[in-house]
Every structure is written in C-alpha cells, then in structure tokens.
Amino acid sequence: MKEYSAIILAGGKSSRMGSDKADLLIDGKSFVRILTDKLSQLGIRDVMLSGYQGEVSGARNVADLFPGKGPMSGIHAGLCAARQEHVLVLAVDTPLIPEAFLERLLACHDHGITVATCNGRVQPLVAVIDRRLSGECERLLAEERHSMMSLYDKVGYQTVPFSGEELLIRGCNTPEEYEAMEALERTLVCN
C-alpha cells in the first residue's frame, strides 16, 4: 500500500470571509482540526500546514519558500518538505469533503498529478501531486506563473470526478457560503 504525505493550504488572506478560514468552526471544531483528523483517519501520518500561524497536534507547519505567491507556493513548500513520494493537497476551506472521495482520489493516483473535478470543472486545490514535481513548481514560480492550472497544463493530469454538493469540494469564501456549509453539515449529520 502506498504511503502519502498531505498539505493543507491555509495561507490565503480570507479577505472575502473577513476572518481566518482555518479557524472557522463546524460543530465546535475548526476547519484545520477537522481536516487533520480526517487525514489521520485515512492513515496519513505526514501532515503539513502551509500558511497557518497556529499549532495543530499531528501536523507540522511548513513555510513558503516563495512567500506571497499564492497556493502554488504552499504546494511547492509541501512537495519539498514531504516525507512521502505522493502528496495529497487540500484547501483548508474544504472540511466537509467526504473521506470516501479522498480515498478514491488517492486510489486513482498513479503518478504525476491527479485532480478532482466537479460539474466538469477542475478543482485545483484538491489533488494528489508527486513530490518530484517540486522543480516544475519552482520554475513556474520563478517565471511569475502562479496559477495551479499552469502547472497542470504543463505536466498533464488525470481527473477524478466528484458528484456531491460542489460546496464540499470547492470550499467557502464568503460568510454566506460558510452559513451554507454549516447548513449542509447539519443535513449530512441528519442523514
């Protein structure tokens, strides 16, 4: 069985949300705690946090080597620091992403990049990326090409479709989306 590292991207400015998304609560637990617990349940022992200022048991903080360059910078730092060859990438604002889907994403990953899609759209911050691609990230960052799609288009990728509620995989960026996520969580718990 393959071993995985994981990086939780928590370095965004959260300007539309108005507060740090990593510390938002669902059922009394922070987004970052929910995800670290979920990764532990998946058997991932090397969990890294990018851009998070606090401490979380079971995870280690990894500083960007190219600060201020967006998610690709956090992914690059995670790939460089990963203890395993394959790295699961998750945005911190996806705490309700189903474990079953993450298991499928990991199982479908063979090499290179495997990325989630929903309603036909690539979800660039829910992916598995091989550690060896850190050099490609570094080249793109040096060229000021920070978009994750620039990496994906350059090296190619395979997709795994997600058929559930898009908010679960896309994440929340506004207080209204956060409220919708809380309501969705209550629905999921009741079913």
**Predicted confidence band of residue 26 (pLDDT cuts 50, 70, 90):** confident
pTM: 0.93
What DSSP letter does each residue of 154-191 carry, written as one string? HH--EEEEE-S-HHHHH---SHHHHHHHHHHHHHHHH-
Q: What is the pLDDT of residues 166-181, one digit of tens each?
A: 988 988 888 888 888 8
Angstrom distance (rounded) from CA 40 to CA 86: 16
**Predicted confidence band of residue 18 (pLDDT cuts 50, 70, 90):** very low
**Predicted confidence band of residue 154 (pLDDT cuts 50, 70, 90):** very high
Q: What is the pLDDT of residues 34-90, one digit of tens each?
A: 999 999 999 999 999 998 888 999 999 999 999 889 899 999 999 999 999 999 999
Which residues have C-beta within 8 Å of that of residue 19, sequence separation ≥ 6?
A: none
pLDDT at 5: 98
Give the torsion sign (CA, 166, 94, 97, 78).
positive
- Domains defined for the chain, CATH in brackets: 4-190 (3.90.550.10)
pLDDT at 11: 75
